[in-house]
Amino acid sequence: MPLSNLSIFSKDTDANEVVKGYEYQKLRTLETWLNNKVNMVDEVIYCEYEDDIFQRDIAAGSSKFTQLKLYGSKSFSFKSEEITKAIANFFMLFVNGEYSFDKVQFVFETNTSIAGKYGDNDAELLKEWFDNQDNIDAQLLQKCAEKVRTIVADYLKGEFPKIEKTQKSEVQSAMIDFNGLPPTVWEDFTKSIKWVFNDKSPNDAIETTVSSIKEFINALPFPSIEGKVDTVFTALYYEVSVKMFQNEPEDRCLTNQKIDSLILDLGDEADKQYNLAFEAWKGTPEIKYFNLAEFIEVLHSSNHCRQSPYLKEHSPLWLNLLDQYIQFEDTPDRYRQKAIYEFLWLSLRPEWLKEPVGSLVGLNHLIDKYFTDAVKFDDHEAIEDNFNLLRIIRASILMGKSDLPMEKTKNWLNEIGTTINKKIELVENPSEKCYWLELRTAYLSNPLDEHGKHFDTERIFQSYEEIIQLLPEAPLYNVTRLSDRLNQFIKIYIQVGANDNYVDSLEALADKLMPFVSTRNGNHKLAKTYVDRGVKYLHTTNPHHLAKALDYFHKAKDLWLQGETGEGYILSLLNISQLYS
C-alpha cells in the first residue's frame, strides 16, 4: 500500500496565513540561506512552501521541513494546538509521494520552552523526547510513536467529514490504509521529527539570529562586502521578502548562486558585467554555432571567474562552455587556442604562493594540442600566452597537479625563447619591439629548469634599458602596464625575501618609467576634456559648431593614439565618422 494515498487528508497548510513572528521567519530563512552558502551546502530553500522553511537537496535525496514559532511567553505541550497541527502537517508531508525516496527530517523550532505538567497534557513525554531525541531508546520511541499516531488519528477524524462529501470512496480507502499502518511506519516518522526549544525571549532570539547573519556575511569570500555588511544584509533580506510573496513554488527558491548574483551586483563594474554574463549563460546547455561576440563574452567571463576565488563554484559552467567551443568544428583555430588556454587555467585555478585549487591531471591531450598548434601564431600576445601557460604547467608538474612528463615541456620552452630572440632581431617597429623586449625579460626572469636556475640579471636589465631607450618612439607600447607589472614584481620579491640589490634595481627602473607614465596619463585626461567639449556641440546644425566638435574629436584622437588608450582612440574615430555621416 503506497503511503501517498493518505495525503488526501492534507490541508492547504501554506504557512502564509498562519505563521507567527513573520519577520523572524524571514531572518531565520536568511540565516539558513547564508549558512548553506558559507558551508557549501548545495540545497534549494523554498520560502513558505510546504512549511515555513523547506530545504531540499535532490542530488543527495534529502528534504528538511522547518516550522517556526516566535512567542513572548507561551510554552508547549502535546495539548498545544501548534504542536498537534505541526505533527499533522509533518505526517502529510511524510506520506507525500514526492518525498518518498528522500531522507526526510521535520523540525519544530520555537524561541520558548516546554510547559510544565498540567492535567493530561503529556508535557513530560515531550520533554523526555526532546532530551533524548538524538539517542532515543526503543521503549521511549514506542511511547512517542503511539502519541504521534493518536494526534494524527484525531486530525484525520476532524478532516474526514469535510472531505467525505466530495471524495467518499477515496477517503474510505485512505482510512483503511491508515488503520493498517504497521508500528515501524510510526516509529520511522517519529524518528524524523526534531524539536528545538531555545528558551529565549523574542528580542534575544531575533538579536541572536541577526548577529549570526552578520557573521555569515563577513565569512563570505567576496571582496565587495568589506565595509558593506549592512548593505548586503538589506539586499539579501529584501530578496527573502520578495520570494515569500511569489505564487509559484519554483519562484520561491533561494539558491547559493542567487547570493552570488546579488553580491556581485554590489561589487565593481567587472563583477557587475560578469554577473550579467553568468545569468545569461547559466541556462545554455549547448552551443550550436560560433559567434565571435558570444565567444569573447564566455572567454572574458571565464577569465574573471578564475581570477576571482569567490567565484570558484561557477567554474563548471565556464569549463563546459569552453569545452564545447574547443570541440566545435566551426571554431577558428585562433579562438580554439584561446579556449584551450582559458580551459587549462580555469581547471588549475592557480593562486600565488598557494597550492592550486584544481588540477591538470588527465588533460595532456589538450596541452599537446595547444602547443602543437601554437606554431601557427607568432605575434607577441600569442607567445606571451604560450609562455604564461607553460609556466603554470611546469609548476603544476612539480606540485603533482599534472601527469605530463617534465621533459616534454623543455622543447616548448626552448622554442618560445628562440622565437622571442628572433623577433627582437627582426622587428623594426619600436612599439612592437618593446613588447618583445618585455617578453624577453619575463623569459629570463623565470627559472628555466625544475631545480631553479638563477636569473640572468645583466641581460634582464639590459632588455629593460633597451625598452626605455625606445619609449619616445613607441607610442603604441603600453608603458603603464609595464610600470604596474614592475610594481607587482617588487611586491612579490619583497614577500619572498629576494635579494635587496635586485629589488633596488627594479625600483630604480620603475622610477625611470614614471615620466613616461605621467605624460601618457596626462594625455588621457586631456583627451577626455576635448571629448567633453566636443560633445557639447553635437546637438546642433550650425556648421561652425560642428567644425569645433570635429576639431576637438581629432585632438582627442591624437592624444589617445598610445598603447594605454587604444579603445579611446577607436571611440574617437567613431565619433568623427558619425559627424561626417
pLDDT in tens, the chain (581 residues): 344 443 433 444 444 333 447 889 999 999 999 999 999 999 999 998 888 899 999 889 999 999 999 988 889 999 999 999 999 999 989 988 888 889 999 999 999 999 988 887 888 999 999 999 999 999 999 999 999 999 998 888 877 766 665 666 676 677 777 778 899 999 999 999 999 999 998 889 999 999 999 999 999 999 988 889 999 999 999 999 999 889 888 899 999 999 999 999 998 899 999 999 999 999 888 888 899 989 999 999 999 999 999 999 999 999 999 999 999 999 999 999 999 999 999 999 988 777 888 999 999 999 999 999 999 999 999 999 999 999 999 999 999 999 999 999 999 999 999 999 999 999 999 999 999 999 999 999 876 444 445 567 888 899 999 999 999 999 888 888 888 888 787 777 766 666 667 777 887 887 787 778 767 766 665 566 566 656 655 665 667 656 766 776 777 777 666 655 556 666 666 666 766 66
What the block records as the C-alpha cell of 55 is 530545504
Using alpha carbons only, what angle is made at residue 87 by residues 208 and 62, rounded to the nearest 5 degrees?
70
Q: How many CB atoms lie within 10 A of CB 574?
A: 10
Q: Structure pTM?
A: 0.73
Helix axes 333-348, 364-373, angle to 10 degrees: 140
The b-or-e profile of 188-217 (16+ CB within 10 A means b, else e) is: ebbebbebebeebeeeebbeebeebbeebb
Burial classification of residue 154, based on how many CB atoms lie within 10 Å of its CB (0-12 exposed, 13-18 middle, 19 or more buried): exposed
Exposure b/e, 377-395, CB count within 10 A at least 16 = b: eeebebbbbbbebbbbbbb
Q: What share of the chain is helix, strand, coil (3-state, %, to 5)?
A: 65, 5, 25
**54 forms bridges with which residues in the sheet?**
46, 65
Q: Which helix H or strand E contains 520, and what residues bound it?
A: helix 500-535
The runs of H, that is alpha helices, within 123-222 are 123-132, 138-164, 168-179, 183-191, 202-219
Query: Taking the domains of the chain in order of start, what are their residue ranges?
Result: 17-256
The sign of the torsion formed by the CA atoms of 322, 324, 327, 333 equals negative
Amino acid type, 216: F
Instruction: Please give the Cα distance from 15 to 76 (Å, whole number).
Output: 19
**Class of residue 64 by CB neighbours under 10 A (exposed 0-12, middle 13-18, buried 19+):** buried
Q: Is 221 exposed, middle or buried (0-12, 13-18, 19+ CB in 10 A)?
A: middle
- Orientation angle between helical segments 168-179 and 138-164, nearest 10 degrees: 170
